[in-house]
């Protein structure tokens, strides 16, 4: 099942630095960055990108390219590009932010470690695990040393590394890190904190990967319920939880439970991100795959045809990456449907 959407890492990975200072210019940048943070937390990524661009340009013109506030704005814009799926725009900003912070603040400074964590997270999302792992390991080591084991930033990186190991199927390394992060986040932040939800979600995905579906379902159901309550039904993190639970039901062959969740997820994705956004197209593909699994090839083909049309109309970086595979998939669906029709005729 197609599901290339960044998972819980993005929310944890974003840290919006607010510039410190007393001049009016700095105060205006603080206000802009606060608006960026608000847009991100509410899942309004396009609005956030517009605001972050404005803050970045203003910071460069007022303070210079290497000022801490400019680096903060750089990280903010990169993180929003990442959230919106524009990885090629995010990477050079993350790389530049890391270079500047290393040069002016040193390797162990919290801002340098945050930049390092951002870049590692981006590599993870793109499946470049060999680049991501050493950065995560180094960031975690330095954060433990500088900030302590229970600091929220340290827990963030611990959770990231656990997810990376899960993606590489190194479950024996992943599980203790997820369990430890969840325990400490409950202790430090509380059960109802969004970052605690992230750890619960990650552990549930690990259980799913290991075939422990009952454990996974319990956590997925709980996270979805809590995210609806705290963040609202249309928040991207809530929609991710909805997708995760639907996927789990599908894996278990419980299609009657999966279908209404996939349908609702697609409807809300269109409302939140627009029909042509990569996340909406992935939701469409997930539903099409479910129909295929149930032998409803006409429904599946209809969705794939529509998705392909939308991909061609909005050719972005990720859209191009999935276009070829979806064309192949659509051909496979057509073949299966025609085979079924031929069998019925005979």
- CA distances from residue 122 to 47, 51, 126 in whole angstroms, order as listed: 21, 21, 6
**Over 90: is that where the pLDDT of 316 sits?**
no
Minimum mean pLDDT range among 6-10, 273-277, 330-334: 6-10
C-alpha closest to that of 38 among 76, 68, 90, 8 = 76
Q: CB–CB of 44/84 below 8 Å? A: no
Which residue has better confidence, 56 or 44? Answer: 56
C-alpha closest to that of 262 among 291, 223, 219 = 291
The model's pTM is 0.77
290 band by pLDDT with thresholds 50, 70 and 90: very high
- CA distances from residue 147 to 141, 153, 298 in whole angstroms, order as listed: 10, 8, 56
Minimum mean pLDDT range among 48-57, 98-107, 324-333: 324-333
**Over 70: is that where the pLDDT of 300 sits?**
yes
Q: CB–CB of 152/189 below 8 Å? A: yes
Q: How many angstroms separate the CA atoms of 141 and 69, rounded? A: 26
4 band by pLDDT with thresholds 50, 70 and 90: very low
Place of tokens 């909406």: 280
Q: How many angstroms separate the CA atoms of 62 and 70, rounded? A: 9
- pLDDT at residue 148, as a whole number: 96
pLDDT over 90 percentage in the chain: 60
**Tens-digit pLDDT profile for residues 175-188:** 999 999 999 999 99
What's the average model confidence in pLDDT over 309-326? Answer: 56
Place of tokens 């997708």: 243
Q: How many angstroms separate the CA atoms of 68 and 111, rounded? A: 9
326 band by pLDDT with thresholds 50, 70 and 90: very low
C-alpha closest to that of 80 among 35, 48, 120 = 48
For the chain, the farthest-separated pair of C-alpha atoms sits apart, in whole angstroms, at: 82
């Amino acid at each position: 099942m197609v599901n290339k959407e960044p998972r819980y890492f993005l929310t944890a990975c974003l840290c919006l630095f607010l510039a410190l200072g007393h001049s009016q210019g700095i105060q205006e940048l603080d206000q802009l960055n606060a608006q960026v943070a608000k847009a991100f937390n509410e899942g309004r990524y396009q609005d956030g990108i517009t605001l972050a661009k404005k803050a970045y340009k203003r910071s460069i013109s007022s303070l210079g390219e290497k000022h801490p506030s400019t680096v903060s704005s750089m990280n903010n814009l990169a993180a929003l590009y990442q959230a919106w799926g524009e990885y090629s725009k995010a990477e050079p900003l993350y790389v530049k932010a890391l270079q500047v912070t290393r040069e002016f603040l040193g390797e162990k400074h919290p801002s340098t470690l945050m930049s390092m964590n951002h870049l590692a997270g981006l590599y993870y999302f793109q499946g470049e695990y060999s680049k991501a792992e050493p950065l995560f390991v180094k960031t975690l080591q330095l954060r433990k040393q500088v900030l302590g084991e229970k600091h929220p930033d340290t827990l963030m990186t611990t959770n990231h590394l656990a997810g990376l190991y899960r993606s590489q199927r190194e479950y024996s390394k992943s599980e203790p890190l997820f369990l430890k992060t969840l325990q400490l986040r409950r202790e430090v932040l509380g059960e109802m904190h969004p970052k605690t939800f992230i750890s619960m979600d990650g552990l549930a995905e690990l259980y799913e990967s290991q075939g422990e579906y009952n454990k996974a379902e319990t956590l997925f159901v709980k996270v979805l319920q809590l995210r609806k309550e705290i963040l609202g039904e249309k928040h991207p993190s809530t929609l991710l939880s909805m997708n995760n639970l639907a996927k789990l039901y599908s894996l278990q062959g419980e299609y009657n439970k999966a279908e209404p969740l996939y349908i609702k997820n697609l409807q809300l994705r269109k409302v939140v991100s627009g029909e042509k956004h990569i996340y909406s197209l992935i939701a469409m593909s997930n539903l099409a795959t479910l129909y295929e699994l149930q032998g409803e090839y006409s429904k599946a083909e209809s969705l794939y045809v529509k998705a392909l049309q939308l991909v061609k109309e909005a050719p972005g970086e990720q859209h191009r990456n999935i276009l070829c595979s979806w064309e192949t998939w659509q051909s496979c669906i057509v073949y299966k449907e025609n085979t079924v029709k031929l069998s019925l005729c005979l």
